[in-house]
Amino acid sequence: MSGKAVLILLLTAVFLPAGAGAAESLDTIIIDEGYDKQTRIAVVPFQKGPEFAGEAEMADIVAFDLSRSGQFAPLERDNMLSLPGRPEQVLFRDWRVLGMEYVVIGNLQTQSSGDTRVRFWLFDVVNGRQMLAGEVTGTRAQWRDMAHEIADDLFEAITGIRGAFATKILYVLSQNAGSPAARYSLEMADSDGERSRTLVSSDQPIMSPSWAPDGRRVAYVTWQNDRQIIVVLDLTTGQRETYSRFSGINGSPVFSPDGRSLVMVLSRDGNPEIYVMNLADRSLRRLTRHYAIDTEPSFSPDGRYVIFTSDRVGAPQIYRIELATNELERLTWEGGYNARARLLPDGRHLVYVHRRNGRDYIAWHDLERDDVRVLTGTSLGQDESPSLAPNGTMLMYATLDRGRGILAVVSIDGRVKYRLPSSSGDVREPAWSPYLDFRML
C-alpha cells in the first residue's frame, strides 16, 4: 500500500480562544481479553536508522492495535530471540520455539522527499511462508496513521475481516457540568483514543455526533438562541452549516448510506416525529405519525429501512419502517426499555440500550433468531450510545466509571473489553467513523 490521500482539516474557524486547546488523549485500559485461544503473533521492532530515534516504535502501535481486538496475543519484545528487519533474516525455528503462529517484520527508510517509507512483511510461522508484503509512506505527522494502516492489513490477512484501526472516533467532552462555567466540545481522536483534537467548543451543549459515510462531514446537535439546531460540519473546509432550526426538538441526525440525506427528529408539529431531510434541497419527508415519543432513528446499511425508538406501547421499544412502503414492524419484545438501536453492517443484527433490573446495558440482538444477549453485563449498568466499528467487530459506548463519563469498547461477542477514560472531563456519545480512504491532518 502506498501513502493514502491526505485530507487537511481546516478547522481554525471553530477553534476557540484561550483555554480551549486540544484536550488530552484518551487512555486505554484493557480490562478483559476473554478469548481462550488468542492468535500468537510476534511484531518485531521495525529496523530503522538513528534519524527515527525520537519517534514512537511503530511495531508497538501495531501490536497494541492487534491486542485490543482481543484476538491476538503479541509476544513481548524481551522474549524475542532475533530481531529480523528483512525477509531473508527471518529464521522460522526462532519463532516456532516460542510457539508463534505469525511473525511481522518491517523497516523504515527516509525517502528523498523526506517522507518515511515503511516496508513490512507477514509470515506464517507454522507453514514457513510469507503471507503478505506491503509498504506505506507518509510524513512524521502521519506516523500513527501508517502504523494503523499496517495493523489493518495484517488483521485482514489473518482474519479475513477488514481492519478498522485506521479510523477515527468523535465524542463529546463535557467540563464543569452543572456550573455556569460548563463547557462542551466535540472531539475527534484516533480509534485508539490517541491524538484527540477539538472540532467545536461551546458553552452550549453539544450532542448526537454522527459521520457522513464519506468521513468528510460530521452532523451534530447544539443550541443557539434558545433553539436546538442540527449542524453539519465539513471537515475539509471547516464550514459549519445549520440544516434544521425548527421550533422544538431538532435532534438525532444520522446520514443515509448514500450521504445525501439526514434522518432526524423534529417536534415542529407538536410531538417528536421522524423525518428524512434531503440535504440538497432541504425538503422533509415525515415518516412517523403518532402521539408517542418517536426518536433515535438510523438507516439500515442498505438504506431501505429506518429503525427508531418509540414508546407507543407505553415503554420505549425498537421499530423499523420500510421507506418504500411505510410498513412498520416492531423489532424488540424482550424487556421494558430498549432504545437507541444501530444495525450491524450485515443488517441482521442490532445493538441497543437494554434495561435489565433497572440498569442499562448494551445488548446485541440477532433478528433472525430473535436472540438477545447483553454485551456489557459486567458493567455497573449505566451504558449508552453504542456505536459500531465499520467492520462490525467492536462497538464503542459511553458509561460511568466512579461517577465520571468514560468511553468503553466491547467486542461484538462480548468477550473483549477496554476503556478509554479521559483526564479532561466527562466524555460520552462516541461515534465510530466509517472506513476512511484518506488521512486527516
Partner 1 sequence: MAVEAAGRDATGRGSTRQRNDNNAMDTGQLERFMTKQWLRTFLVLLVGSVVLAGCAGTGTQRQPTEPSEEPVETPDTTTAPVAPPAQTPEVDENRNPYIPGTTRLMDRVFYFGFDQSVLSPDDLATLEMHATFLRNNPDRSIVIEGHADERGTREYNLALGERRADSIRSFLVSAGVSPRQMEIVSYGEERPEDPGHDESAWSRNRRAVLIYR
Contact segment (CB under 8 A) with partner 1 among 26-34, 132-140, 179-187, 192-200 equals 179-187
What radius of gyration do the chain's Cα atoms show? Answer: 23
Residues 66-125 that bind partner 1 (CB under 8 A): none
Told to check if 267 binds partner 1 by CB under 8 A, we report yes
Q: Can residue 340 be called a binding residue for partner 1 (CB under 8 A)?
A: yes
Residue 384 C-beta: closest distance to partner 1, Å: 6
Query: Closest approach of Cβ 375 to partner 1, in Å?
Result: 16
Comparing CB distances to partner 1, the nearer of 89 and 247 is 247
Least Å from the CB of residue 272 to partner 1: 5
Instruction: Give the interface segment with partner 1, choosing from 3-11, 66-74, 203-211, 411-419 (CB under 8 A).
Output: 203-211
CB of 249 to partner 1, least distance (A): 6
Give 228 or 256: the residue with its C-beta nearer to partner 1.
228
- CA-to-CA distance for 131 and 122, rounded, in angstroms? 5
Under rule CB under 8 A, residue 130 binds partner 1: no
Scanning 21-29, 275-283, 322-330, 335-343 for contacts with partner 1 by CB under 8 A, the matching segment is 335-343
Q: Binding pattern to partner 1, positions 32-51, x when CB under 8 A?
A: --------------------
Residues in Cβ contact with 124 at an 8 Å cutoff, skipping those fewer than 6 apart: 101, 102, 130, 131
Q: Smallest distance from the beta carbon of 7 to partner 1, in angstroms? A: 29
One of 252, 261, 317, 422 touching partner 1 (CB under 8 A): 252
By beta-carbon proximity to partner 1, the closer residue of 256 and 310 is 310
Q: Binder to partner 1 among 8, 91, 97, 177 (CB under 8 A)?
A: 177
Q: Does 400 bind partner 1 (CB under 8 A)?
A: yes
SS3 readout for the chain = CCCCEEECCCCHHHCCCCCCCCCCCCCCEEEEECCCCCEEEEECCCECCHHHCCCCCHHHHHHHHHHHCCCEEECCHHHCCCCCCCHHHCCHHHHHHCCCCEEEEEEEEECCCCCEEEEEEEEECCCCEEEEEEEEEECHHHHHHHHHHHHHHHHHHHHCCCCCCCCEEEEEEEECCCCCCCEEEEEEEECCCCCCEEEEEECCCEEEEEECCCCCEEEEEEEECCEEEEEEEECCCCCEEEEECCCCCEEEEEECCCCCEEEEEECCCCCCEEEEEECCCCCEEECCCCCCCEEEEEECCCCCEEEEEECCCCCCEEEEEECCCCCEEECCCCCCCEEEEEECCCCCEEEEEEEECCEEEEEEEECCCCEEEECCCCCCCECEEEEECCCCCEEEEEEEECCEEEEEEEECCCCEEEEECCCCCEEEEEEECCCCCEEEC
226 near partner 1, judged by CB under 8 A: yes
Q: Kindly state the cell numbers that stand for 352.
A: 441497543
Exactly one of 385, 391, 399, 433 binds partner 1 (CB under 8 A); which one? Answer: 385
Binding partner 1 (rule: CB under 8 A), the pick from 33, 153, 187, 429 is 429
Residues 402-421 that bind partner 1 (CB under 8 A): 403
Q: Which CB, 133 or 177, lies closer to partner 1?
A: 177
Give me the residue label for grid cell 407507543.
312
Counting Cβ atoms within 10 Å, is residue 34 exposed (0-12), middle (13-18) or buried (19+)?
Answer: middle
Using CB under 8 A as the binding rule, whether residue 272 contacts partner 1 is answered as yes
Instruction: Say if CB 81 and CB 98 are below 8 A apart.
Output: yes
User: Binding to partner 1 (CB under 8 A): which residues in 277-316?
Assistant: 293, 295-296, 309, 311, 316
For residue 168, state whether it binds partner 1 (rule: CB under 8 A): no
Q: Which of 239, 247, 283, 378 binds partner 1 (CB under 8 A)?
A: 247
Candidates 65-73, 143-151, 191-199, 242-250; binding stretch for partner 1 (CB under 8 A): 242-250
Q: What is the binding site for partner 1 (CB under 8 A)?
A: 177-179, 182, 184, 205, 207-208, 223, 226-228, 247-249, 251-252, 265, 267, 272, 293, 295-296, 309, 311, 316, 337, 339-340, 353, 360, 382, 384-385, 400, 403, 429
